[in-house]
Structure 1
Amino acid sequence: MPEQDIAEIIEMPRVFLDSLGIGLSIVDSATGHIRFANKECCRIVGYTVEQIESSGLTFLDLTHPEDRERNRLQHEKLLAGEIETYQIDKRYLRQDGTVVWTRVIVNPVRDAAGNPRWFCAVLEDITATKILQSQLATAEKLAGLSTFNLIVDTGVGGPDAATAVPSSLSEMLSHVHPDDRNGLETAILHAIAKRTGYTRDYRVVDEDGGTRWVRGMGTCVYSSSERYTHLVGSMIDVTSTHRDRDSEAPEPIRRILDHIETNWNQKISIEQLASRYGISPRGVYQYFANNGISLGEKIRLTRLQHARRMLCGPKAGDTVTAIALRCGFRNPGHFAREYRKIYGETPSESLRLSSSALRHDSADVTLVS
């Protein structure tokens, strides 16, 4: 753009340029000097029009020292023609010492030969957003909460084609306790495929090998125009809840619970367990009644959890009936009804989804961002 055109822009009624609601500046490509700035740009950087246009300030002079190198590298790529434009979140250091966060979009204005003569920078004040993000991060840390927002490409097959795990989900699952991994994976894939949500307690393994309980919650929002499914969720630490629940139980009850977990596929008699671990059958019934679940229900849920793992990680030749029998369910129909109540799908659906994922390692789900 010829310099006389820049002059014409500057001569436009400032009321027009100042009414845009966004910061606008024009920078000399050779010197980096700011040749023009509208009212919002001046407010953001904390200098008057006269100070900016007469003092020879450059955009790097106004940039926070900690962000200058990152900004300079992006600008050099633009000058070298490696990129056509760039967007950067950075801080400006005002002359009164305060800091403002901005989102800056920079585009070149080229001369007749195609060389960058000027740069047009559009500035948006995002200080409030950054403060909220910082407050949220602090609140999440205090609450033991973490959040995520993934975009999953379901491809031309639509959302029902979601059968493979996106790479970031694979990363998340790699930190999940092996005994809980298949169940969580299946719950997430089912949520993606059906555009629904999930809530699940599971264990995660820390870098030092320690185990924590978390409650994972997620929901899916499908965009028909983008053909993307947004998987938004959070995880909150519930380790203390699980530990308190286990530690409050009397010693005989804890030993009975350990017995059930170890011998979940065997026939279990409440009377025999009570006698073996030194408590009356009445005491066993009373404890579980006070906790809102019977011992029989606890055994049934434990067996369903093991059945879920087998269905989500099937071996060659596995069938629903074989797994049901292996987990102590003698009536496949009753097993299917109970399973659906807990997991929202039939055992056949779980097995089919898992088997499909094994057969199609390169299915249509890929991570976009």
Structure 2
Amino acid sequence: MVELPRVFLDSLGVGISIVEIETGCIRFANAECCRILGYPLEQLRRQHISFLDLTFPEDRESNRAQHEKLLAGEIDGYRMEKRYVRPDDSVVWGRVMVNPIRNADGRMKWFCAVVEDITATKILETQLEAAEKLAGLSTFNLIIATEDRRSDTGAAATDSLVEMLNGVHQEDRAGLEEAIRRAVAKRTGYTREYRVIDGNGPTRWVRGMGTCVYSPSDERLHLVGAAVDMTAPRREQAQDMPEPIRRMLDHVEMHWQQKTSIEQLAAQFGISPRAVYQYFSSSGISLGERIKQIRMQHARRMLSTPEPGATVMSIALRCGFGNPGHFAKEYRKVYGETPSESLRRASSPD
């Protein structure tokens, strides 16, 4: 052990240790390993302390099982996350990788254990879990599988991404999927509000935010983000909405293809045009913009699942957009591609 390049090993940011096969006692530990365990090397050697002695009681059985499999030759090594108890009774989380060191005839002589301190990560996970429960926040870290590692645009959904999309309301799914597709293609992020369905439970509104992060460790692209429950704020907003405005919006949702004006709608629902303008001005979006959003969503659906013989022009006119050039410009602003590109992709046999 004295011949080990101690200066080099002590400079590493992970714990390195050499462990006896027969007793499991620690014979060498670099500076980081000693810091993690809370013992100087001399004390570890003098008191014949083993890793199992320092392992948190609830983690010992799983650690022992892995160790016995390694001794029996059933596995070549193992990795696990477990807790260590320091002399001051504080607990440290470690990610451990254990591999055998063999002599010339192939027999195990030592074990090498590499320990990474992940206490901060575990604390953050616990805090985030608590915050999620309090704030209605859910987080995700999904692996995005590309058609090949060199692809800049092609993206195939993993099972976890498919599962997330399957939980989205059918009317909002295509829009979210498109937002994710654009984020993956450009290695950027997205923010979008959409509805999710909890099994047979009620529909909830969430604001989803995600960003693409490349992980050098597994050479994969991850979609990392969170979804904040917006159901209560939306419900409060709806409760604050005057009854004539609510009925007006319900009418617009159902009869989105009809040409209308604020004056006509105001007269139909017994409210002054001035009151309509004032309400929507305070909400941050005009009634005209809201009607355009609804029509654009229907246009998106028709372009994504086109009927035989459908054209961009016919869909634009059907959805109330009389100017095809203006429609194409607004569509691209919302969905990141032209209507022709959406229709061509949907019509492609691939």
The answer to whether the Cα contact below 8 Å between 1:177 and 1:205 also exists between their aligned partners in 2 is yes
Q: What's the counterpart of residue 3 of structure 1?
A: none
Question: CA 1:139 to 1:338, structure 2 compared with 1: closer, same or farther past 3 Å?
Answer: same
1:196 to 188, 196, 202: 188
The answer to whether the Cα contact below 8 Å between 1:203 and 1:214 also exists between their aligned partners in 2 is yes
Q: What's the counterpart of residue 144 of structure 1?
A: 136
Q: What's the counterpart of residue 160 of structure 1?
A: 153
**C-alpha displacement at 1:258, in angstroms?**
0.4
Q: What's the counterpart of residue 251 of structure 2?
A: 259
2:70 to 59, 78, 94: 78
Deviations along 1:227-266, one digit per CA (max 9) or x if unpaired, are 7433232222222332232222110010000000111122
**C-alpha displacement at 1:301, in angstroms?**
1.5
Question: CA 1:197 to 1:314, structure 2 compared with 1: closer, same or farther past 3 Å?
Answer: farther
Question: CA 1:327 to 1:157, structure 2 compared with 1: closer, same or farther past 3 Å?
Answer: farther
Q: What's the counterpart of residue 173 of structure 1?
A: 165
Equivalent residue of 1:165, what SS?
coil
Question: CA 1:222 to 1:110, structure 2 compared with 1: closer, same or farther past 3 Å?
Answer: closer
Question: CA 1:313 to 1:228, structure 2 compared with 1: closer, same or farther past 3 Å?
Answer: farther
Instruction: Give runs of aligned pairs for residues 21-40 of structure 1, distance below 5 A.
Output: 22-40=14-32
250-259 or 153-162, larger mean C-alpha shift: 153-162
Deviations along 1:304-345, one digit per CA (max 9) or x if unpaired, are 122122323444544322322332223322221222232332
CA distance in 2, matches of 1:226, 1:41: 25
Q: What's the counterpart of residue 228 of structure 2?
A: 236
**C-alpha displacement at 1:178, in angstroms?**
1.4
CA distance in 2, matches of 1:263, 1:168: 37
CA distance in 1, matches of 2:13, 2:107: 30
Equivalent residue of 1:159, what SS?
coil
The answer to whether the Cα contact below 8 Å between 1:30 and 1:117 also exists between their aligned partners in 2 is no
**C-alpha displacement at 1:348, in angstroms?**
1.8
The one-letter amino acid paired with 1:287 is: Y
CA distance in 1, matches of 2:75, 2:282: 66
Identity %: 65
The one-letter amino acid paired with 2:152 is: P
Q: What's the counterpart of residue 98 of structure 2?
A: 106
84-93 or 267-276, larger mean C-alpha shift: 267-276
The answer to whether the Cα contact below 8 Å between 1:183 and 1:312 also exists between their aligned partners in 2 is no
Note the aligned Cα RMSD (angstroms): 2.9
Instruction: Give runs of aligned pairs for residues 305-320 of structure 1, distance below 5 A.
Output: 305-320=297-312
The one-letter amino acid paired with 1:158 is: S
Deviations along 1:19-78, one digit per CA (max 9) or x if unpaired, are 555433222223323333345433322345454324443322221111122222332343
2:281 to 267, 277, 289: 289
222-231 or 142-151, larger mean C-alpha shift: 222-231
CA distance in 1, matches of 2:3, 2:200: 65
The answer to whether the Cα contact below 8 Å between 1:186 and 1:350 also exists between their aligned partners in 2 is no
CA distance in 1, matches of 2:196, 2:94: 37
Deviations along 1:208-227, one digit per CA (max 9) or x if unpaired, are 51121111122335689987
CA distance in 1, matches of 2:107, 2:68: 14
The one-letter amino acid paired with 2:151 is: G
Question: CA 1:351 to 1:226, structure 2 compared with 1: closer, same or farther past 3 Å?
Answer: farther
Q: What's the counterpart of residue 127 of structure 2?
A: 135
The one-letter amino acid paired with 1:240 is: A
- TM-score w.r.t. the length of structure 2 is 0.87
The answer to whether the Cα contact below 8 Å between 2:144 and 2:157 also exists between their aligned partners in 1 is no
The structure with higher relative contact order (CA 8 Å, sep 6+) is 1
Equivalent residue of 1:191, what SS?
helix
Question: CA 1:226 to 1:93, structure 2 compared with 1: closer, same or farther past 3 Å?
Answer: closer
Deviations along 1:169-207, one digit per CA (max 9) or x if unpaired, are 101111111111111112211221233332211011124
Deviations along 1:252-304, one digit per CA (max 9) or x if unpaired, are 01000000011112233434432332223332233223334332222111111
CA distance in 1, matches of 2:115, 2:104: 27
**C-alpha displacement at 1:84, in angstroms?**
2.9
Deviations along 1:87-130, one digit per CA (max 9) or x if unpaired, are 32210122432211122221211122212221011223222332
Unmatched runs of 5 consecutive residues or more in structure 1: 1-8, 361-369
1:97 to 89, 97, 100: 89
**C-alpha displacement at 1:133, in angstroms?**
3.1
Q: What's the counterpart of residue 211 of structure 2?
A: 219
Structure 2 residue 176 is matched with structure 1 residue 184 = yes
Equivalent residue of 1:257, what SS?
helix
139-148 or 106-115, larger mean C-alpha shift: 139-148
Question: CA 1:71 to 1:110, structure 2 compared with 1: closer, same or farther past 3 Å?
Answer: same
- TM-score w.r.t. the length of structure 1 is 0.83
The answer to whether the Cα contact below 8 Å between 1:26 and 1:34 also exists between their aligned partners in 2 is yes
The one-letter amino acid paired with 1:335 is: F
The answer to whether the Cα contact below 8 Å between 2:19 and 2:27 also exists between their aligned partners in 1 is yes
The one-letter amino acid paired with 2:96 is: V
The one-letter amino acid paired with 2:223 is: L
The answer to whether the Cα contact below 8 Å between 1:153 and 1:227 also exists between their aligned partners in 2 is no
